[in-house]
A = this chain, B = another copy of it.
Amino acid sequence: MELSKRQQQILDIVRAEGPITGEQIADQLGLTRATLRPDLAILTMAGFLEARPRVGYFYAGKKTGQIFGDQLRKMLVREYKAVPINIAENTSVYDAIVTMFMEDVGSLFVVREGGQLVGVVSRKDLLKVAIGNQDTREVPVSLAMTRMPNIVTVTGDDTVYDAAKKLIEYQIDSCPVVRPLDETGRNLEVIGRFTKTTIAKVFVELGENREV
């Protein structure tokens, strides 16, 4: 929502002098109360101002970015997650790299039979092994991966915002989307993949004028 010049002036006045009545704002702008009515209604309903009877308008502290943020934090990982690519623990580093190229992904999830997540392996992890002196065909991926319980995960119910924050905070490019495999809550099953590519796609979608 873009504010008109007059709406911006009203906001500035209320920010500096609120609580302030509609009359007083109109006086300062050299306008009638009636002229200001639609602007005040818009600013109030959009959350920029709050109005209290017999007190006047005061600044609600909601800025454009905040309204933006409110919208943004309604998007759930469930709706945006990508398909996970899983491999077995005894897969060689070489085969893991080949799988990465074939599937065109930047990370693979290592799972046991029955679906239990045991590790995550990234391009970075594999590069580290590849420049070592070992034969990548001989080293199992389990020696290169990040293991449970050190894996950063998100759930389908997390917001895209929270998930994005996690990737930034832990400086990782992606993480598995999981759900509990049993009642202990310690064994997790992979149901998706959340990556910086996911975020970039959501970002572009937002910019494309589509409904959020």
Closest CB in chain B relative to A70 CB, distance in Å: 7
A164 proximal to B (CB < 8 A): yes
Q: Is the CB of B164 within 8 A of A203?
A: yes
Residues of A within 8 A of B (CB): 1-2, 4, 37-38, 41-42, 45-47, 63-73, 94, 97-98, 100-101, 104, 106, 123-124, 126-128, 130-131, 136, 160-161, 164-165, 167-168, 171, 173, 196-197, 199-204, 206-212
Q: Looking at chain A's contact residues, is the secondary structure mostly helix, strand, loop, or mixed?
A: helix
Closest CB in chain B relative to A111 CB, distance in Å: 22
Closest partner residue, chain B, to A169 (CB atom): B204
Contacts of A209 in B (CB 8 A): 63, 65-66, 69
Q: Is the CB of B203 within 8 A of A97?
A: no
Closest CB in chain B relative to A152 CB, distance in Å: 14
